[in-house]
Amino acid sequence: MKTKVVIFDLDGTLYNSTKSHQLAMQNLFKQYKAQRKPSRKEIYAMVGEPPESFLNWIRTFGIENDGKQILKSLSHLEIEAVRRIGKLYPNVVEILTWLKTHYFKVALCTNAPIGYWQTVLEHFQITDYFDDIQSPVSKDHTKTVMVRSIIQKYTNLHHQVEAYVVGDRKHDMIAAKENHITAIGVLYGFGNQEVKALADYLISDLLEIQKIMLSQTQ
C-alpha cells in the first residue's frame, strides 16, 4: 500500500500574508531608507521567492547592507506583523484535519526563514498537523531539493510513495514536476498565471483537495 504525502507551501497557500507582508516590507524600506518605495504589485511578486532573489531585488532600491542583516530585519518585522494582523486562508484547519484523519502524511516546504514559519504555525496552532517541515539551510536548498528530501524520507520508510505539492508559485510547480509528482496550484495566492501554466490541477479552495485525493483512489 502506498504512503500518500501532501506537501504544502506556506505563504499564498496556507497563510494569507497579503497584509502582514506588505506591512513588514514597508517598515523594512523605511528602516533602511530606500531610495524609492516598491509598489504593492512589486511587493507581492516577491512573496515566496528564495532569499538570494529577494536580496538581489531589494538592492535595486538603493538598499546596500549585509544580506544576512537585511533578512534578519525582515524576519523580525514579518513575525511582528503575523502576530498583529496575520490570518490563514479559509479551510486550512479543515483540510489538514481531513488529510490526517485519512492517513495522509502532511509536510510543509517553504522558502521562509525558520523563525517566521514557526511563528505562523504556532500562532494559528497548526504545528502538530505536519509530519515534516523543510525550509532553506543554504542557497542551494531549493524547493526541488526540499521536496525531494521529503519524498526520499518516506520512500526509505515505506518504499511506495504517492506525493503531491500544493502551492501558489512557479517554484512549487517546478519542484513537483522535477520530482515527477502531482502539482496542485491554488488560484488565490500570489502566482495565479504561473500555476495555470504548470499545475496538473487548479483549485480555488483548499477543500477541493478532497475531491482530487478521492478521485485518485477510484
Over range 87-91, report the average pLDDT: 97
Q: What is the pLDDT of residues 116-149, one digit of tens each?
A: 999 999 999 999 999 999 998 887 889 999 999 9
Ordered DSSP codes for 40-104: HHHHHHTTT--HHHHHHHHGGGT--S-HHHHHHHHHHHHHHHHHHH-EEPTTHHHHHHHHHHTT-
Q: Is the pLDDT of residue 218 over 60?
A: no
* pLDDT score of 216: 77
HSE value, Cβ hemisphere, 13 Å, CA-based, for 204: 0
Same domain, 139 and 191: yes
**% of the chain surpassing 70 pLDDT:** 99
Same domain, 53 and 136: no
What is the distance between the alpha carbons of residues 103 and 214, in angstroms, rounded to a whole number? 13
Same domain, 194 and 91: yes
Domain count, the chain: 2
Same domain, 97 and 176: yes
* pLDDT score of 217: 63
HSE value, Cβ hemisphere, 13 Å, CA-based, for 56: 6
* The dihedral formed by the CA atoms of 134, 11, 20 and 78, expressed in degrees to the nearest 10: 20
Same domain, 116 and 179: yes
CATH value at residue 107: 3.40.50.1000
**Residue carrying the nine cell digits 523605511:** 30
Mean pLDDT of the chain: 92
For residues 88 and 118, the answer to whether their CB atoms sit within 8 Å is no
Give the model's confidence band at 23: pLDDT under 50 very low, under 70 low, under 90 confident, else very high: very high
**% of the chain surpassing 90 pLDDT:** 67
Residue ranges making up the domain that contains 25: 18-85
Q: What is the pLDDT of residues 26-66, one digit of tens each?
A: 999 999 988 888 888 888 888 878 888 888 998 888 887 78
